[in-house]
Amino acid sequence: MESPQINVAVEELTFSLFQRPLHPELFQIYATRELKTEKYEALIWVTGCTHVVSIFTGDLCLTEVVSTPGQMLPSRGLIERFQFRGPRTHKCTLSRGVGYMTDFQVEKMSPNLYQQSHTDLERFARNRGVFVKFPDLQIGHLQPFCYIDFEARRHELHLHTFAAYPDQVTMIKTQSLFDFH
C-alpha cells in the first residue's frame, strides 16, 4: 500500500461537505468502519492523515471529507468547501430533519505535547475508534497518525478526529455532529 501524502501545509488541506456518497476509488483507504443504527448507516474511512465519513439515512447521504491538495473530488453535490486556516464552525440544516454541525481547530504543538497526544490517543483507541499511524513517515521521533473516535447514538452520530502532521508539529482536530430528528 502506498504511503499517504502528509508533507502538505495544513492550511492547504480542504474540508468538504457533500450531499452524496463518494466512490472509494477516489481515495487510498487505510482503515474502514461501518456503523448501523435504526435511523442511519455510516461508513468511516481513514485516508492517510485525512478522512471520509458518509452517512446514509433514507434516500439522503451526507459525506464529510478532509482532503489533500490535488485530491480529485466531484463538484456535484458539494454543499460547502473551505480550507484549514484557523478555527471554524459550520452548521447546516437539510431537508427531512437532518442537521449537521462541525467545528475544527488547528493546533501547533511542542514536540513533547505532540508525542504525549500520540501516546494518549493511541491508548484510548485500544477501546474505541479507529487509529492509524504511519511509522515509515516518522520525522525525528514524531509519527504522523489519524484517529477517529465516534459515538453512534440512535438519532445522532458524534465524530472526533485527530490528524497529526509531524513536519509541522501540528494537529487538526475536528468535531462533527450528524443529527437525524
pLDDT tens readout for residues 16-62: 999 999 999 999 999 999 999 989 999 999 999 999 999 999 888 99
Predicted pLDDT at 58? 86
C-alpha to C-alpha distance for 114 and 108, rounded to whole angstroms: 9
Q: Tell me the mean pLDDT in the region 132-156.
A: 93
Quick one: 135 exposed, middle or buried, by C-beta within 10 A (0-12, 13-18, 19+)? exposed
- Residue ranges covered by each domain of the chain: 10-180
Predicted pLDDT at 88? 81
Predicted pLDDT at 5? 64
Q: Tell me the mean pLDDT in the region 146-166.
A: 94
Residues of the chain with pLDDT > 90, as a percent, come to: 71
What is the pLDDT of the chain when averaged over all its residues? 91
Statement: residue 3 has pLDDT above 80: no
The answer to pTM > 0.85 is yes
Residue 1 binned pLDDT confidence (cut-offs 50, 70, 90) = low
Strand, helix or coil for residue 7 = coil
Residue 175 binned pLDDT confidence (cut-offs 50, 70, 90) = very high
Q: Tens digit of pLDDT for each residue in 60-102?
A: 899 999 999 888 999 999 999 988 877 788 888 877 778 899 9
Radius of gyration of the chain (CA): 16
In 3-state terms the chain splits into helix, strand, coil percentages (rounded to 5) of: 15, 50, 35
Predicted pLDDT at 86? 73
No. of helices (H) and no. of strands (E), the chain: 1, 12
Predicted pLDDT at 6? 64
Which phi and psi angles does 103 have, rounded to 5°?
A: -145, 135
